[in-house]
A and B are shown apart, each in its own frame.
Chain A
Amino acid sequence: MSLAIEISDLHKEFILSHSGVGSLKTLALWWKKKSYEKLQVLKGINLNVENGECVAIVGRNGAGKSTLLSLIARVYKPTSGKLVVHGRLAPLLELGAGFHPDLSGQENILFNGMILGLTRKEVLERTPQIVEFAELEQHIDAPVRTYSSGMLARLGFSVAVHVDADILIVDEVLAVGDFSFEQKCYRRIEEFRSQGGTILFVSHNASAVRRVADRCVWLDNGQIADEGDPEAVLKSYESAGS
């Protein structure tokens, strides 16, 4: 099988600022004190994800899970190491991130689809499916500010799964929407996988990990503590936590 994501010896460090320079005033007051400290978030990650695989990442808060996903999504630049992504990647956006409240659902679909890498034509072709999947036919011409949070989540999910990405990145969002919509999301994810799509997701929900993941990676303090069969990794992760 070919690789979807190749990661070797990936490091990421952030500059931790104690003064919290966020304004010129603090800069002026603190210029003498160089109170910067480097924070190592990822300390040498080696991970290969094959095409069609579904990999879950578990770990405590601050272990570097989201940072890893963000690096894969090209939001950050790695400090050092190799990171190659083959194919188109779509991150599942948080509740309405990137939606403009004054624009209609329709207009937001266009914009969000394009930001996820579709052309205008492709988005317009898919809009009916997106609307149908999100069950928002009634509201699609209303401004998004009138939507409930459930409706926003449905719309966001629907756009992301319709961009036909090769790799889907999910950062703990499946807990939105009602039960029946959640089931629909799982079905859609199964469908996506049966078509050969790759999924990488972060979750604190052990049952979700057991349900969909082929492989589980336990990230602890910026390093991979364990990886392999979800059942086994979850067991060692849970026993380490208690």
Chain B
Amino acid sequence: MIDDVKELWRFRELLWAMVERELRIRYKNSLLGFFWSLINPLMTVLVMTVVFKFFLQNQTENYAPYVLSAYLPFLFFNMAVMDSSQSVLAALPIVKKVYFPREILPISSVLANFIHYLLALVVFFFYLFFLWAITGFQITPFTWRIAFLPVLLLTSLALTLGFAFFVSSLNVFYEDVKYVLGVLLYLAFFMTPIMYFSENVYYAAKRHGQEWLYTLYHLNPVAELATTYKKTLVPPGEIAIGAEKVDPLAQNWGLFGITVLVSFATLVAGYSLFNKLKWRFMERP
């Protein structure tokens, strides 16, 4: 595996060229390419806000930025894993002819999406700033917690790369992996505190006297990442649970530690599976 990483490093220039190519393709056919791709998260958040604030009459403060802070990373995970699942299969004609480290294919899909996510985060910060200004500087969006963002980003990247290695190599042999993946990612959206809060999960579990459910829920690294993103990016306000308002729970560092471990373990496991399968890509049945 060390040798594979060294070989990959030798080809780093090709990797960057590939990332650049993916971004070019994505933004090629329209000048506003990047802004078009922001429409999905913005519309989603708009709809969720309407549903929550008006239909369900939830009184939580800062609802929209909260949702966005978890939905953007989820979208990165979702898009990167979906894109990379096709990456090897789509490049098969060239893989058949030329040697280059095959892991460049899924990695470049993930990195292109990661760069896209970072750009979206910049837009998100502008939005927070705007919100700060129109609320008369009452909520302070930039707290010391933001210093933790690099760790969060790195963990998300490791987890996503790990998944990308799994699905891109398995999808070569079992083409229905991408359909299964579509269903799982759809379910993951609901099992992740994006449009609701980890506090909803906690109080629901507590009502039934089963607090361990909250821990179980956050053993899912995607859910724990979403919770931590919310607590890192948006200053905690009061959260409405039913009719009453509660203070947000403190960040649970133990659970986040587990997520870091799981993420990097996924990366290592995914990469070694990929390396095991990569010489057989050409010989798929």
Contacts and interface: CB of A to CB of B under 8 A. Distances in A.
A21 B93 contact: no
Q: What is the predominant secondary structure among interface residues of chain B facing chain A? A: helix
Interface in B215-246: none
Contact of B176 (A23, A70, A93): A23
A24 interface: yes
Contacts of A75: 95-99, 282
A22 B173 contact: yes
Contacts of B17: 110-111, 114, 120
Interface stretch (B23-31, B77-85, B202-210, B257-265): B23-31
Contacts of B180: 24
A88 to B, nearest CB: 11
A107 B175 contact: no
B64 interface: no
A93 B283 contact: no
A23 B25 contact: no
A14 B283 contact: yes
A115 B173 contact: no
Given A93-B94, A94-B97, A115 B283 contact: no
Q: What is the predominant secondary structure among interface residues of chain A facing chain B? A: loop
A98 interface: yes
A102 interface: yes
B54 interface: no
A188 interface: no
Contacts of B279: 76-77
B278 to A, nearest CB: 10
A74 B21 contact: no
Given A15-B283, A22-B175, A120-B17, A74 B99 contact: yes
Interface string A19-47: 11111110100000000000000000000
A25 B95 contact: no
Contacts of B24: 103, 107
Contacts of B100: 115
A139 to B, nearest CB: 17
Contact of A73 (B93, B98, B174): B98
A116 interface: yes
Interface string B160-194: 00000000000001111100100000000000000
Given A23-B174, A100-B21, A120-B17, A94 B285 contact: no
B284 interface: yes
Contacts of A110: 17
A102 B29 contact: yes
Given A21-B173, A110-B17, A115-B14, A91 B97 contact: yes
B3 interface: no
A119 interface: yes
11 contacts: A17-B285, A21-B173, A93-B94, A98-B91, A100-B21, A102-B29, A114-B13, A114-B17, A115-B94, A116-B98, A120-B17
Interface of A: 14-15, 17, 19-25, 27, 70, 73-77, 91, 93-94, 97-98, 100, 102-103, 107, 110-111, 114-116, 119-120
Interface of B: 13-14, 17-18, 21, 24-25, 28-29, 91, 93-100, 173-177, 180, 279, 282-285
A-B pairs, 4 with minimum CB distance: A74-B99, A98-B94, A17-B285, A97-B93
